Structure 1
Amino acid sequence: MLPSARRVQGTYFVLVLGNTLAASFIWGINTLFLLDAGLTNLEAFTANAFYTIGVLLFEIPTGVVADTMGRRWSYVLGSATLAVTTGLYWLMWLWQAPFWGWALASLLLGLGFTFFTGALDAWVVDALAAVGYEGSLERVFGRSVVVSGGAMLVGSVLGGVVAQLTDLGVPFLMRAGVLVVMVVVAGLLMRDLGFTPDRSEGPLRATRTVLRASITHGLGNPPVRWLMLASPFTAGVGFYAFYALQPYLLELWGDPDAYSIAGLAAALLSGSAMLGGFLAPVVRRRFRRRTSTILLATVTGVVVLLGLGLVQSFWVAIVLVGLWGVMSSIDDPVHRAYLNDMIPSKQRATVLSFDSLMGSGGSAIAQPVLGRSADLGGYGFSLLLSGAISAVAIPFVLLSRAQRAPADTASATLEGPSIDPATSV
């Protein structure tokens, strides 16, 4: 007997909650953790870049796991791998390891996260279709943003406070513990519905098939291609900016040891994410075209990064960070629904992973460059440069919009578009 759509969504939200809670314990203090280990800004952000290099290396091979072994196995392997590599990260800090050790550990963190990429979203979309759900994808993804925002709010504040009361290593141990719990939870609750894993090919042949599918349904599909090509300039820069805000806000606050302030700053993004998740379906209804929302969020992101580079007031910076969080979270469910409506079920996890890979490619280049610019000109200068780089994404969003894909004006349900693209504005 198939579960209800409500139960499928409940399982999805539990998995999002656990994954985000575990990750967010260290979001407010990760850069401070690396600097405390003796790394320079260049080394710290280059270590982060090795994480994205790991994503680049392993994204397609681990996509094979989701499409041939199943999405549940992919999630379980991701949780287990991240639990082990998070423990390794803590050991690197404890041993004051040389840079190459951090590079290796970050590479393995990238491996862990690639098991998640695309698998969970693909799982919920296929499962909802299998149980007859006819509601809005934006609504489901918007609620997931609210859930993840709440988890990030709790996790980032708790991580910052725990680091303040103990040391910077304890939040990493907390993260590893929650990930172990999620291995058990996913094993018990997840079932692959509406999707049958294809185990007919060996690993190497399956990898080639997955890569071809990524090109055909990703780069070979014009509206998907242009949106993917925007990712290196938005996701890549966004990853740097998120972690650069930790020491930058402490610098504006005037106390480099106020770890709880860094945690609260990350919590502000969490609260903004919750608000954005609530607003996403509302904003979506204000525009007939999904790319209108995506374009608005992209332009706002550019303005916010330029503003953060220019301001000298902690409180003004906080307002800008909040605005960035709201607009990013409004964009997220619309962006995901737009892509999902243009991807066949069989290749869904693969193409979503390929989209993530494009963002990781930009991040691998941007982080050491922007980290070095922070060493030379300060965090403010690096954020100005971040804003200039992210502006390059705007023409690509416009090119995706120009394709007038049916998904751009879809009714946002699993049944497909209900609005004639010719009537869109």
Structure 2
Amino acid sequence: MHASRVYIAMRAVMQLANAIMFTTYALYYVTGLGLNPLQLVLIGTFLELTVLLFEIPTGVFADTRGRRFSVITGTIIIGIAYVLEGTVPYTFGLLSLFAGVVIAEIIRGVGETFLSGAASAWLTDEVGESHVGSIFLRASRIDQAANVIGILLSVGLSSIILNLPYIVGGALYLLLALFLILKMKETQFQQVDRSAKDDWKEAGATFKSGASFVRRSPILMALLLGTLFAGAGSEGFDRLWEANFLMALHFPDWFDLTPAVWFGLISIAGSVLSYFAAALAEKRLDLDKVQHTVGMLMSLTLLRVLLIAMFALANSFPIGLISILLLTMVSTVAGPLYDTWLNQNIPSQSRATILSLMSQGNALGQSLGGPVVGAVGTRYTIRASLFLAGLLYLPVVWVYAKARKHI
């Protein structure tokens, strides 16, 4: 299979598996395992700390041992972690359900770092920097269709057994790993001569090369700072937007729909709209013009700030719903644009390492910013915390504006 088809298939299966698991994960955590709010927060903290610790070593691994090997390794680890998480009531029932989930999430975090940067670095090398942007957008569009299917499957599977979505999602990751072993080829990766250096020296040299390139690039240094603030803003918003519907906006009393059904409907509507947004962006945007790409990123980030503020200040369900749906569309288009521009600005030999550095900055921002945003919501109101989450994106707008001037 052509590299673009392998990548799109890989993204679609991952999105399908994630939607199956995460649409109803709160029901499994709270109703099935009986976890309290503090435990729910600590699970995310352990996950982010794992990412912080392993992001750079696994990025270096991908740049020295091959991106294909790294992607397959990460897919297998994540699949095992999700199956373990789905079987926690049986494997950890006599000890601690919370400890079982934490262990599974730590294993998942290690797997995520093997994937982070390696998949896009592999694709960029295989198809070339000039073609990767359109593939990212196409994959994002197809992800939305997979997401809708996953949401429907999640509701059906969780109605049978609450932990079944995790078992099915983990199994899909393991089947994906088998598919990648058979179909994923790596033809452009330049293996370092291992006879001349030992493994540790080789890894150290790769990391130093990537870090040095980032330090010498004003754009990448600014972007690293931007990812820190983007992580802080996204962590706070992602954990609180559902609570805002439940605590401040409230769902309409239509057809006796439960909150779970409402969240499912919102997710499906967002996926459908995002599908068309990605399709339009794929046709209209010229990703070969770097200045145009960065200008679009700046505009979309500013729009994100305004929409989060609109959602935070909304005093009715329709305004909140419109804000969330528009935010979903913005994220769907902005993500591929960011990936394209970033991959076009880093050298092939250190691509996965530098991408991991960026992911580490995002994880650090989430670890630091999430508790601050949450504390504001506890001290004042959830609206205040959401508004702060939006303000944390403003430095990212400044980063894109500065980067545009350097081009």
The answer, yes or no, to whether TM exceeds 0.5 is yes
User: Using a 3 Å threshold, how does the CA distance of structure 1 residues 116 and 191 change in structure 2: closer, same or farther?
Assistant: same
In the TM superposition, residue 250 of structure 1 has moved relative to its aligned partner by: 4.6
Matched, 1:384 2:383: no
Instruction: Give the whole-Å Cα distance in 1 for the aligned partners of 2:89 and 2:215.
Output: 40
For residue 132 of structure 2, what is the aligned residue in structure 1?
137
For residue 118 of structure 1, what is the aligned residue in structure 2?
117
In terms of mean alpha carbon deviation, does 380-389 or 117-126 score higher? 380-389
Instruction: Give the whole-Å Cα distance in 2 for the aligned partners of 1:331 and 1:273.
Output: 11
For residue 184 of structure 2, what is the aligned residue in structure 1?
190
For residue 253 of structure 1, what is the aligned residue in structure 2?
251
Partner amino acid for 2:362? G
For residue 107 of structure 1, what is the aligned residue in structure 2?
106
Q: Is the 8 A contact 1:24 1:159 kept in 2?
A: yes
Partner amino acid for 1:330? V
Q: Is the 8 A contact 2:266 2:325 kept in 1?
A: no
Q: Which runs of 5+ in 1 are unaligned?
A: 405-425
RMSD of aligned alpha carbons: 2.7
Instruction: Give the whole-Å Cα distance in 2 for the aligned partners of 1:152 and 1:175.
Output: 13
In the TM superposition, residue 58 of structure 1 has moved relative to its aligned partner by: 0.7
For residue 210 of structure 2, what is the aligned residue in structure 1?
214
Instruction: Give the whole-Å Cα distance in 1 for the aligned partners of 2:378 and 2:162.
Output: 23
For residue 299 of structure 1, what is the aligned residue in structure 2?
302
In the TM superposition, residue 181 of structure 1 has moved relative to its aligned partner by: 0.6
Matched, 1:313 2:316: yes
Instruction: Report Cα offsets for 1:80-135 as digits up to 9, x if no partner.
Output: 11112112323446749465554443322211111111111111111113xxxx96
Give the alignment of 1:121-200 within 5 angstroms: 121-129=120-128, 136-163=131-158, 165-198=159-192, 200=194
In the TM superposition, residue 68 of structure 1 has moved relative to its aligned partner by: 2.1
Instruction: Report Cα offsets for 1:193-236 as digits up to 9, x if no partner.
Output: 21133362444334422321331222431112212211122234
User: Using a 3 Å threshold, how does the CA distance of structure 1 residues 197 and 321 change in structure 2: closer, same or farther?
Assistant: farther
Q: TM-score, normalised by structure 2?
A: 0.87
Partner amino acid for 2:309? L
Instruction: Give the whole-Å Cα distance in 2 for the aligned partners of 1:41 and 1:373.
Output: 16
In the TM superposition, residue 189 of structure 1 has moved relative to its aligned partner by: 0.6
Partner amino acid for 1:159? S
Matched, 1:10 2:10: no
Give the alignment of 1:15-414 within 5 angstroms: 15-36=10-31, 37-92=33-88, 95=93, 97=96, 99=98, 101-129=100-128, 136-163=131-158, 165-198=159-192, 200=194, 201-251=197-247, 252-253=250-251, 258-282=259-283, 284-285=285-286, 288-377=291-380, 379-404=382-407
Specify the SS of the correspondent of 1:392. Answer: helix
Partner amino acid for 2:169? R
Instruction: Give the whole-Å Cα distance in 1 for the aligned partners of 2:39 and 2:388.
Output: 19
Partner amino acid for 1:169? N
Q: Is the 8 A contact 2:123 2:132 kept in 1?
A: no
Instruction: Give the whole-Å Cα distance in 1 for the aligned partners of 2:395 and 2:350.
Output: 28
Instruction: Give the whole-Å Cα distance in 2 for the aligned partners of 1:381 and 1:195.
Output: 48
User: Using a 3 Å threshold, how does the CA distance of structure 1 residues 188 and 217 change in structure 2: closer, same or farther?
Assistant: same
Q: Which runs of 5+ in 2 are unaligned?
A: none
Instruction: Give the whole-Å Cα distance in 1 for the aligned partners of 2:37 and 2:312.
Output: 17
Q: Is the 8 A contact 1:123 1:192 kept in 2?
A: yes
Q: Is the 8 A contact 2:297 2:337 kept in 1?
A: yes
For residue 419 of structure 1, what is the aligned residue in structure 2?
none
Partner amino acid for 1:213? S
Instruction: Give the whole-Å Cα distance in 2 for the aligned partners of 1:185 and 1:48.
Output: 30
Specify the SS of the correspondent of 2:21. Answer: coil
For residue 417 of structure 1, what is the aligned residue in structure 2?
none
Instruction: Give the whole-Å Cα distance in 1 for the aligned partners of 2:64 and 2:286.
Output: 37
Instruction: Give the whole-Å Cα distance in 2 for the aligned partners of 1:306 and 1:242.
Output: 14
Instruction: Give the whole-Å Cα distance in 2 for the aligned partners of 1:42 and 1:279.
Output: 42
Q: Is the 8 A contact 1:47 1:103 kept in 2?
A: yes
Instruction: Give the whole-Å Cα distance in 2 for the aligned partners of 1:93 and 1:380.
Output: 36
User: Using a 3 Å threshold, how does the CA distance of structure 1 residues 371 and 38 change in structure 2: closer, same or farther?
Assistant: farther
